[in-house]
Structure 1
Amino acid sequence: MWIILLSICVILVVWLIFTQSNKDYWKKRNVVQVNDLLVSFFRGDRSIAEIYKEVYDSHPKELYVGSVMMTKPTLILRDLQNMQAVLHTDFESFSSRGIDCNENDLLADNVLFISDYQRWKTIRQKMTPLFTSSKLKSMTNVIKECARDFVEMVKQNKEMREKPFTALYTYTTATVGASVCGIDTQVNNSMQSPFLEMSWKALEPSTITDIKFAISTFSPTLFKLLKLKIFGEHEEFFIGAMKKVLAARRNDPHNINDFIGLCMEIQKAGPMKDKSNDYELEPTDELLAAQAFFFFLAGTDTGANTMHFTLLELASNPDVLQKLHKEIDQVFEETNGEVTYDVIDKLVYLDMVVNEAMRKYPPIGALQRECVRDTVLPVGNLKVEKGVTVVVPAYAIHRDENLFPNPEKFDPERFAPENATYLPKYGYMPFGEGRRICLGSRYARIQVLSGLAYLLRSFTLKPQNYTPRFEKSNFSLRDTNSKYDLILRENI
């Protein structure tokens, strides 16, 4: 703690000096510039995504709006073609997320956080096979068992019905844990996940975490010099747990379709090699544990939030809920209640409902990239220098009335199959977009749709009006304290 306090003092002193030198950074380049957004975040009580949206909405005629994050020049994009350039066509100029971690921050050494392009590319190539159709089919069976246990837990536990987000978080943690390590046959219920407390603490917004990210943004050199770790407190438990699972699986390789099975295949093959050059990386237990940790980061909080916002909107839109119940009942009756990999595709309206929930409440409120080499944006011909942070404000884009008419209305028909061609390219990105699009987006769809299908087969929702109040988060949109009344359906 004293290291962080000392860091804050150093940052404040240096910030006061550098603020003067960067105060007109964008103005000198004929770009509209607003005040330091990170300072606005720390002073206020809103999520960073809401702050970006305010800037986005306040400058409707601009292609981009400049600012600074502490001392770092930051550019908020408003044009979809420029967003496509940053996320895809000019990806190698923006390959980094701009989150610099220490080499000894073992759990941060994963495909979500890695800034080193070569290292990221090599690991991602090896992780991609986890989400083939055959492996997803196997994981769907695991998710199905978790979904059934989840519904039974909600039925039997009144406290879970009174704290619905906690129930959803328990489900998403259990599904990820079971998909990574397999279902633990030593427990009576898959909801008894040993990873629940760790996952909750790792992703719950906190001032300390915000400060660490601020130091990383302000001065990666200082962050590394102080040997700060974003996830250091979870290393001993998580890496230890993964080492035990890996060791056990070496003696009994019973499941090759989960994450641990993939790890075994990778380690048997020797060094991880980039297909295009001679780069090699040793697949140590620690490195593979970090990738497992990535699945918890990407699949627990975001999945729970998506389900939570979907249920909040369904409670506020009884007509949508009634139509959805009709589809779920029909599918369950046709399949004897077996939601398999192939059955997921029959839940067309549920998929539309979830897509609309992710439009209004994208799991990640904004995408951040750092320019790693000087380049030029295609629309506006603005030169972007190495070291500049570029923001794609997903939440603001999803609520832009020019892209989604009447954006505050919850309207699943926007995502009807016949309307797919009308969706704006790079205007809808709940899982990110481009080369760093979420690896597990197909898995997330199965996880969320399965959980909601089983839950809404047994429960309905009492009508209510929902007004969101997002938590102060620099990462996602969260409203974990909002509630809805789950009512057990009769004759089901």
Structure 2
Amino acid sequence: MLIEISLIVLASSLLIFHLIGRYNESYWKKRGVKFHGKNKVLGVFGAFFSGKSAVFELFGDLYKKYKNEPVVGIGNLFTPSVFVTNPKNIQHVLQLDFNSFNHRGFESEKDTLSDSILFMTGNRWKLMRQNMTPLFTTNKLKNMYYIMDRCAQDFVVYLDNNPKAREGKFYDTLNMFCNAAVCGAIFGIGQESTFDSPFMKMSQGLSTSNWKTSLQFALLSISPKLIKLLGIRFGAEYEKFFVDAITQVTKKREEDKVQRHDFADLAANLRKKGTIRDENTGLEIEPSFTLLSAQASFFFLAGVEPNANALFNTLVVLCQHPEILQKVHQEIDEHFEKNNNNIGYDVITQLTYLDKVLSESLRMFPPVGYVTRKCIEDSVLPVGEVKIEKGTKLYTPIYQLHHDPDLYPEPEVFDPERFSKDRKPNDDIYIPFGMGNRLCIGARYSRLQIMAGLVHVLRNYEIHLEQTGKIGFKPDILNVRLDNVDIKLSRRNIKA
């Protein structure tokens, strides 16, 4: 009897999957759009969980096969979905028709820590972003940079005092540095204890990818309703800690009445101002400690692992190009010696060659490989005149755009001079932090944090490449991170 029931369940499941696949295929074929027939039900996400490739690499296979198509339909369970291949259509989705595509495509209604500008939609997102933006103005970043620089200096001290941290698994060490930098620059955690603080250890758990978070993000993309049905909550185990910590930090800042130019300042000011109101729509948001904790969690998600990826990938590619590394060392040394070993905001922005190196590294290895959007109003893509209906999910490439030989001659060649003034690529084809109104709000902060880490590591250490196999990419749901390779450090002989 049990065997018969099992066979019936199996047969029913196979039939349902077959019908879903047929529906997905026919949906796009009726609209004159080519459909990628491999894994018609789950598309690249099915291939991701059954293989050893990152999701962006699987999208890369589609980009090569359907490059001359305006879009290609893909399986995504019950949600009509396309992979956008044409650069003009990508620009339309991410920038030009913002009103139709301002939804990131992730929905998580019940999660305390997901109620951030990363997942918010519509007028609520717009109002919250407007009130978060002041933290990232040029003047604020200039005032905040001393914290980033101090954290990078403390990182060097940590490396000096912990030889094992210089001898391998350096990505994990860089991840810790980025965590510490966010703790310091965003939340005002004291630098003398940052690297072993309970706050940082908890935040690392939230911000570091693993099989569980990969599954959650995949389900968020494939079927938010399934997430809701299963009662899965993003970061549930960290909610109480974050809410308690942000409450404590904000209250302390309110009591001390000091300005440190960080997130705690912003949180205290929002609490003091009270209800946030949009005069045009009448929408109101209460800046509760719970809501502020969600914004705090966003900074860890956006500012730790993506930045650690960028740091690690840049150091790897510098090891592979010793002549470029030598020029970087020379530029850094000259500015340290000229400025009495003080590298403030005004100095870091003068490191033009390192800036070009970082830009080229972010072209070759953007922090994330693609971005997602959900259509909230019917729209027509300009190339191919493809009608995109409300509710459709769209995946737009970053990595493939940056490696397209039609856009970047010899894209696999690491050439910082691509970013010299006379050769700098257009913003519509260089999008390491996204494009349009939903461009990463902390993009400039991230670049400064990465620059600070690079400057102090490269000032004090020689970097050495250690290959553990053929260099490829770590299988990841979103990130672009080199794999089968490591970095080791040795102290440089530098002028005191």
**With structure 1 as the length reference, what TM-score do the two structures score?**
0.92
Partner residue of 1:139 out of 144, 149, 159: 144
Equivalent residue of 1:112, what SS? coil
Matched, 1:125 2:127: no
Partner residue of 1:62 out of 63, 66, 69: 69
Measure the CA separation in 1 of the matches of 2:131 and 2:278. 9
| CA displacement at 1:425 relative to structure 2 | 3.8
Aligned to 1:100: 107
Aligned to 2:186: 180
Equivalent residue of 1:65, what SS? strand
Aligned to 1:72: 79
Aligned to 2:21: 19
Task: Please report the RMSD computed on the Cα atoms of aligned residues, expressed in angstroms.
Answer: 2.0
Partner residue of 1:47 out of 50, 54, 65: 54
Which one-letter code corresponds to 1:339 in the other structure? I
Q: Tell me, yes or no, if the aligned pair for 1:84 and 1:426 is still in contact at 8 Å.
A: yes
Which one-letter code corresponds to 1:444 in the other structure? S
Q: Tell me, yes or no, if the aligned pair for 1:142 and 1:183 is still in contact at 8 Å.
A: no
Which one-letter code corresponds to 2:391 in the other structure? G
Equivalent residue of 1:426, what SS? coil
Cα-to-partner distance string for 1:86-117 (whole Å, 9 max, x where unaligned): 11110111111111102x30100111122x31
Equivalent residue of 2:485, what SS? coil
Aligned positions of 1:471-482 closer than 5 A: 471-479=474-482, 482=485
Aligned to 1:5: none
Q: Tell me, yes or no, if the aligned pair for 2:155 and 2:177 is still in contact at 8 Å.
A: yes
How many residues are aligned here? Answer: 478
Aligned to 1:442: 444
Cα-to-partner distance string for 1:354-382 (whole Å, 9 max, x where unaligned): 11111111101101001111110112111
Equivalent residue of 1:462, what SS? strand
Q: Tell me, yes or no, if the aligned pair for 1:317 and 1:463 is still in contact at 8 Å.
A: no
Cα-to-partner distance string for 1:457-477 (whole Å, 9 max, x where unaligned): 111223667953222211111
Aligned to 2:88: 81
Cα-to-partner distance string for 1:431-464 (whole Å, 9 max, x where unaligned): 1110100111111111111110111111122366
C-alpha change, 1:130 and 1:105, in structure 2 (3 Å) is same
Measure the CA separation in 2 of the matches of 1:356 and 1:440. 19
Unaligned runs of 5+ in 1: 1-8
Measure the CA separation in 2 of the matches of 1:298 and 1:359. 18
Which one-letter code corresponds to 1:27 in the other structure? K
Measure the CA separation in 1 of the matches of 2:51 and 2:388. 29
C-alpha change, 1:193 and 1:14, in structure 2 (3 Å) is farther
Q: Tell me, yes or no, if the aligned pair for 1:318 and 1:463 is still in contact at 8 Å.
A: no
Identity of aligned residues (%): 37
Equivalent residue of 1:313, what SS? helix
Measure the CA separation in 2 of the matches of 1:238 and 1:11. 41
Matched, 1:220 2:224: yes
| CA displacement at 1:275 relative to structure 2 | 4.8
| CA displacement at 1:15 relative to structure 2 | 4.3
| CA displacement at 1:43 relative to structure 2 | 1.2
Deviates more, 1:312-321 or 1:33-42: 33-42
C-alpha change, 1:218 and 1:450, in structure 2 (3 Å) is closer
Equivalent residue of 2:217, what SS? helix
Q: Tell me, yes or no, if the aligned pair for 1:82 and 1:377 is still in contact at 8 Å.
A: yes
Partner residue of 1:341 out of 323, 338, 345: 345
Measure the CA separation in 2 of the matches of 1:282 and 1:256. 24
Measure the CA separation in 2 of the matches of 1:482 and 1:418. 34
C-alpha change, 1:173 and 1:333, in structure 2 (3 Å) is same
Q: Tell me, yes or no, if the aligned pair for 2:24 and 2:74 is still in contact at 8 Å.
A: no
Measure the CA separation in 2 of the matches of 1:379 and 1:166. 43
Equivalent residue of 1:248, what SS? helix
Which one-letter code corresponds to 2:180 in the other structure? A
Measure the CA separation in 2 of the matches of 1:248 and 1:356. 42
C-alpha change, 1:164 and 1:266, in structure 2 (3 Å) is same
Equivalent residue of 1:101, what SS? coil
Unaligned runs of 5+ in 2: 1-9
| CA displacement at 1:393 relative to structure 2 | 0.8
Matched, 1:153 2:158: yes
Aligned to 2:434: 432
Measure the CA separation in 2 of the matches of 1:325 and 1:215. 44
Matched, 1:204 2:211: no
Matched, 1:489 2:492: yes
Q: Tell me, yes or no, if the aligned pair for 2:464 and 2:489 is still in contact at 8 Å.
A: yes
Measure the CA separation in 2 of the matches of 1:462 and 1:196. 28
Cα-to-partner distance string for 1:213-251 (whole Å, 9 max, x where unaligned): 343334323322333211111111111111111222221
Measure the CA separation in 2 of the matches of 1:77 and 1:329. 44
Matched, 1:247 2:251: yes
Cα-to-partner distance string for 1:322-378 (whole Å, 9 max, x where unaligned): 011111011111111211111121111111111111111110110100111111011
Which one-letter code corresponds to 2:438 in the other structure? R
Cα-to-partner distance string for 1:240-272 (whole Å, 9 max, x where unaligned): 111111222221122251111111111111211
Measure the CA separation in 2 of the matches of 1:290 and 1:15. 36
Which one-letter code corresponds to 2:486 in the other structure? K
Measure the CA separation in 2 of the matches of 1:15 and 1:108. 30
C-alpha change, 1:66 and 1:352, in structure 2 (3 Å) is same
Cα-to-partner distance string for 1:39-77 (whole Å, 9 max, x where unaligned): 111111111100111110122322222212223222111
Cα-to-partner distance string for 1:407-433 (whole Å, 9 max, x where unaligned): 11111111122322xx14421111111
Q: Tell me, yes or no, if the aligned pair for 1:108 and 1:230 is still in contact at 8 Å.
A: yes
**With structure 2 as the length reference, what TM-score do the two structures score?**
0.92
| CA displacement at 1:301 relative to structure 2 | 0.7
Aligned positions of 1:261-410 closer than 5 A: 261-410=265-414
Q: Tell me, yes or no, if the aligned pair for 1:373 and 1:386 is still in contact at 8 Å.
A: yes
Measure the CA separation in 1 of the matches of 2:426 and 2:470. 27
Cα-to-partner distance string for 1:168-213 (whole Å, 9 max, x where unaligned): 11111111111122141xx635433433333332233333333333
